[in-house]
């Protein structure tokens, strides 16, 4: 009987490993395309199916050192607790990125502790509206100790809720020339904003004219520079505020429009009437009774 070699014994004892079920062998990689100067074409890694081993290796190699091609999975960092909100507020303060409405009140600089507290309020109010922290701080302003939405932020909020069906913005009255000086605008010139809400018949209308601005002592006021440099835009936001607040109060959640609130003077402290304290001092008897000399 002929003797078996070691290789024959090994093949008989160890059968060949079968391929996994329901798995087709990887196809050979396609020939790489080259451009005109002989370099690999940009489609080199996209021609290999990503569900194969070769495709996965090529994808890993192709992503090395390359920026991501899509940012659809990027999500904002949202604090999950009050402590995290304070940490975000402190970071914004240290980075000196706090907006002016958070660092001062009517021109008076606030302490760091007050600034952090206002930043926390802005972030929390923004969270109620669905804003990420940084979006909240750039969209919400603190005016007269109240959080308010800038006009473009309020417009974006209303449109994102899906309640706005249609909005028109038109100039009314004697429309001035493009190069006309602000002080020469006619009193009847203004802006009308009309907003239709879904499911409701009549529109919400707001308009604001130069005459209205003069009555409110806003026109040509040297302390209100935006009204001098950008009068049409200021008229627009004042006209926008009325229908926005009347027809979409549920979207704004009680927030005023910043451009409107900036024109409202701050509330003066109420003076307490202390005249009743003088009643007992008029005759001089009470004064003598409290004299330190007796």
Handedness of CA 84, 89, 93, 99 (dihedral sign): positive
Same domain, 139 and 167: no
What is the C-alpha separation between 209 and 172, in angstroms, rounded?
A: 8
pLDDT at 185: 97
Contacts of 233 (CB under 8 A, 6+ apart): 226
pLDDT at 107: 84
Same domain, 96 and 187: no
Has residue 112 been placed in a domain?
Answer: yes
Has residue 25 been placed in a domain?
Answer: no
Q: What percent of the chain has pLDDT over 70?
A: 65
Helix (H, G, I), strand (E, B) or coil at 218: coil
Asked if residue 28 has pLDDT above 80, the reply is no
Using pLDDT thresholds of 50, 70 and 90, give the confidence band for residue 275: low
More confident residue, 100 or 30: 100
Same domain, 139 and 166: no
Query: Residue 109 belongs to what domain range?
Result: 77-143
Residue 106: φ, ψ to 5°: 55, 45
Q: What is the mean pLDDT of residues 228-244?
A: 96
Asked if residue 186 has pLDDT above 90, the reply is yes
Bridge partners, 195 (sequence order) = 167, 204
Has residue 158 been placed in a domain?
Answer: yes
Same domain, 180 and 226: yes
pLDDT at 277: 60
Same domain, 155 and 120: no
What is the C-alpha separation between 294 and 112, in angstroms, rounded?
A: 51
Residue 157: φ, ψ to 5°: -65, -45
Using pLDDT thresholds of 50, 70 and 90, give the confidence band for residue 195: very high
Using pLDDT thresholds of 50, 70 and 90, give the confidence band for residue 147: very high
Using pLDDT thresholds of 50, 70 and 90, give the confidence band for residue 76: confident
pLDDT at 290: 43
What is the C-alpha separation between 44 and 61, in angstroms, rounded?
A: 11
Same domain, 115 and 131: yes
Please tell me the total count of domains within the chain. 2
Q: In terms of residues, how long is the chain?
A: 294
């Amino acid at each position: 009987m002929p003797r078996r070699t070691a290789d024959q014994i090994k093949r008989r004892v160890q059968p060949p490993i079968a391929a996994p079920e329901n798995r087709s062998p990887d196809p050979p990689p396609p020939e790489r395309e080259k451009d005109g100067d002989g370099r690999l074409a940009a489609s080199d890694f996209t021609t290999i199916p990503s569900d194969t081993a070769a495709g996965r290796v090529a994808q890993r190699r192709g992503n090395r050192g390359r920026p991501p091609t899509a940012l659809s999975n990027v999500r904002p960092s949202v604090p999950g607790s009050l402590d995290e909100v304070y940490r975000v507020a402190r970071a914004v303060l240290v980075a000196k990125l706090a907006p002016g409405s958070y660092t001062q009140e009517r021109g008076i600089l606030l302490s760091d502790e007050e600034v952090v507290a206002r930043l926390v309020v802005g972030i929390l109010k923004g969270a109620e509206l669905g804003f990420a922290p940084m979006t909240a701080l750039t969209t919400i302003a603190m005016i007269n100790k109240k959080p308010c939405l800038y006009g473009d932020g309020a417009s974006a909020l209303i449109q994102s809720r899906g309640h706005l069906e249609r909005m028109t913005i038109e100039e009314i009255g004697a429309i001035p020339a493009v190069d006309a000086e602000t002080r020469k605008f006619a009193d009847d010139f203004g802006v009308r904003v009309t907003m239709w809400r879904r499911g409701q018949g009549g529109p919400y209308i707001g308009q604001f004219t130069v005459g209205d601005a003069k009555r409110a002592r806003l026109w040509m006021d040297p302390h209100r520079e935006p009204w001098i440099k950008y009068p049409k835009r200021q008229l627009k936001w004042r006209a926008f505020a009325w229908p926005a607040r009347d027809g979409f109060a549920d979207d704004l959640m009680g927030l005023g429009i910043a451009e409107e609130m900036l024109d409202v003077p701050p509330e003066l402290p109420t003076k307490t009437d202390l005249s009743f304290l003088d009643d007992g001092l008029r005759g001089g008897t009470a004064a003598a009774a409290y004299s330190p000399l007796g």
